[in-house]
Every structure is written in structure tokens, then in C-alpha cells.
């Protein structure tokens, strides 16, 4: 059984990985990022490739950071299986992640239960799914909200000043389309939304079931959890799946 000192060293190592990943890559906050004029690309395949090449790096960075968080949790869970008491630093980290990922009843649940819930949330989103949604929601990067506000995922926000009001919105409406300084910030918000919002519990359950079964976590499989992402429901899910398949995204990025 490892000593507490050894355990703290292991935990510190995981935290260091997360810090290095965050520092090594460019920050989420930066001067407003310029989005390429994807409408100028011809032929269509060139536009699609340019779009994927532009969005993919942000997805890879943010998924790497999520994976680092997941490795910390798995390390904590492994230590708990050896009947080693949780270190105070571990409990604090679990509580912080539970708040970030909106774990229900996090203040009253046992730590073991919080960790198990977190492991269903703190996990990567397949690039194929994210790229297909980005292309769909932003009209391949040509929508006003993608060009001017780095919002490639049709994300909404509900706090005054958090974004921009759609032109067709009524004067009484309070929702806005979220605005970001960088594409990466928008990607981070999108991933956190899928990993924390109650509307996507089915998506997370599907991913967890695939993990338990030892099967590949693919965008096609997880798309069924997007029924509430759009008012179009199943038609939207079917369209995302079709975009994944027709653009060869599983084989291109998985």
C-alpha cells in the first residue's frame, strides 16, 4: 500500500500534466481571433478541409485538458480502491471538478459517489462529432456568429452582456448567442456544455456504456444523445450522423 507521501507525489504529477498542457498551448483568452473567409474557398472540398484544419486544433487542446482531469480522477479512484484515505488536496480537487461539471447533490453525496459521477462527465468528446456539429451549426464557418463572434456551435447564453442578441429576437427575449474572443474559448464552452448540462445526460450515459463495454467511443454512437441540442430532435441527430459519414470524419480524426 503506498504511503501518503507517495500518493501526494502521484497526484502532483497528474496536476503538473494538466498545468503543462494549459501553459504549453496558446491561452483561451487572447485578442479577438480572425476567422478565415471560408466562403472564398473553392472547390467545396477545399473549403471543408480548411474548415476542419482550422477548428480541429482547438478541439484537440481542450480534449487533452479534459483527459488530464480524467487521469487525475482515475488516479484518485485507484488509490481509494487500495483503501487509502483521501488526501485533503484530493477532496478539494474533487469538489472543484464537481462544481465545474455541475454534479447534482455534490455537497451531500459521499466522495466516492461524486468521483463516479464525475467519471461519466469528465471525458473527451469525439472530434468527429464536434467537427460535424461545428460545420452544421456554423454553415461551414460562414455564419455571422462564427465569423464575428467565434461561436461555431450555436451556443446560447442567458446573462446580460454575455453575447449578442439575434436580429430576429423579440425585445422581451433574454437569451443571446454566446460570443467568444477565440475559437478555443467557444470549443471549451461547447465541450463543458455536453459534459455538464442535464439535457445531455443521455449522451454521457451512452459514452460511459461504451467505455464499460470496452468499445470505441465514436461520434456516430454518441450522436443519439443530441436530441435536445436542436428543436429538430431526431432529424438533427440523423443529419449530424450523415455529416460524420459523408465527410469520413470517423476515419479522418479518430
Per-residue pLDDT of the chain (254 residues; tens, 9 = 90+): 444 444 554 554 555 454 444 544 545 555 678 999 999 999 999 999 999 999 999 999 999 999 999 999 999 999 888 877 889 999 999 999 999 999 999 999 999 999 999 999 999 999 999 999 999 999 999 999 999 999 999 998 877 777 777 666 666 666 788 999 999 999 999 999 999 999 999 999 999 999 999 999 999 999 999 999 999 999 999 999 999 999 999 986 44
The answer on 87 and 32 residing in a single domain is: yes
pTM: 0.85
The answer on 158 and 235 residing in a single domain is: yes
Residue 212 DSSP SS3: helix
Residue 6 in contact with residue 79, Cβ under 8 Å? Answer: no
Mark which of 121, 151, 186 sits at the end of a domain.
121
Give the C-alpha distances (Å, rounded to integers) separating 157 from 32, 33, 98, 163, 188: 19, 20, 21, 7, 14
Encode burial over 152-167: b for 16+ CB neighbours within 10 A, e otherwise: bbbbebeeeeebbeee
Mark which of 89, 106, 121 sits at the end of a domain.
121
Residue 216 in contact with residue 254, Cβ under 8 Å? Answer: yes
The answer on 168 and 90 residing in a single domain is: no
The answer on 139 and 36 residing in a single domain is: no
The answer on 89 and 117 residing in a single domain is: yes
The answer on 153 and 49 residing in a single domain is: no
Q: What is the CATH number of the domain that holds 235?
A: 1.10.530.10
pLDDT on residue 29: 54
DSSP 33: P
Helix (H) and strand (E) counts in the chain? 11, 3
Q: How many domains does the chain have?
A: 2
The answer on 116 and 139 residing in a single domain is: no
The answer on 149 and 72 residing in a single domain is: no
Please give the distance of CA 129 from its chain centroid, rounded to a whole number: 11
Among residues 250, 38, 217, 220, the alpha carbon closest in space to that of 135 is found at: 38
The answer on 89 and 158 residing in a single domain is: no
The answer on 240 and 207 residing in a single domain is: yes
Q: By residue range, what is the domain housing residue 25?
A: 4-121
The answer on 132 and 112 residing in a single domain is: no
Mark which of 91, 121, 151 sits at the end of a domain.
121
Tens of pLDDT along 8-24?
545 545 554 544 445 44
The answer on 133 and 101 residing in a single domain is: no
Amino acid at each position: 500500500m503506498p504511503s501518503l507521501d507517495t500518493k501526494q507525489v502521484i497526484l502532483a504529477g497528474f496536476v503538473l500534466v494538466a498545468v503543462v498542457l494549459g501553459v504549453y498551448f496558446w491561452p483561451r483568452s487572447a485578442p479577438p481571433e480572425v476567422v478565415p473567409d471560408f466562403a472564398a474557398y473553392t472547390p467545396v472540398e477545399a473549403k471543408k478541409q480548411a474548415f476542419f484544419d482550422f477548428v480541429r486544433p482547438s478541439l484537440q487542446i481542450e480534449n487533452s485538458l479534459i483527459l488530464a482531469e480524467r487521469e487525475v480522477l482515475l488516479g484518485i479512484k485507484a488509490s481509494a480502491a487500495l483503501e487509502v484515505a483521501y488526501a485533503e488536496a484530493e477532496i478539494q480537487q474533487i469538489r472543484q471538478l464537481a462544481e465545474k461539471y455541475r454534479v447534482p447533490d455534490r455537497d451531500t453525496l459521499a466522495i466516492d459517489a461524486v468521483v463516479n459521477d464525475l467519471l461519466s462527465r469528465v471525458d473527451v468528446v469525439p472530434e468527429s462529432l464536434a467537427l460535424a456539429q461545428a460545420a452544421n451549426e456554423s454553415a461551414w464557418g460562414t455564419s455571422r456568429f462564427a465569423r464575428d463572434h467565434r461561436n461555431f456551435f450555436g451556443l446560447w447564453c442567458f446573462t446580460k452582456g454575455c453575447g449578442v442578441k439575434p436580429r430576429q429576437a423579440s425585445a422581451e427575449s433574454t437569451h443571446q448567442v454566446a460570443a467568444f474572443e477565440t475559437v478555443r474559448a467557444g470549443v471549451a464552452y461547447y465541450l463543458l456544455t455536453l459534459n455538464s448540462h442535464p439535457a445531455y445526460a443521455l449522451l454521457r450515459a451512452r459514452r460511459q456504456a461504451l467505455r464499460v463495454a470496452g468499445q470505441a467511443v465514436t461520434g456516430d454512437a454518441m450522436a443519439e444523445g443530441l436530441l435536445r441540442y436542436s428543436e429538430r430532435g431526431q432529424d438533427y441527430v440523423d443529419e449530424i450522423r450523415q455529416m460524420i459519414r459523408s465527410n469520413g470524419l470517423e476515419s479522418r480524426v479518430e
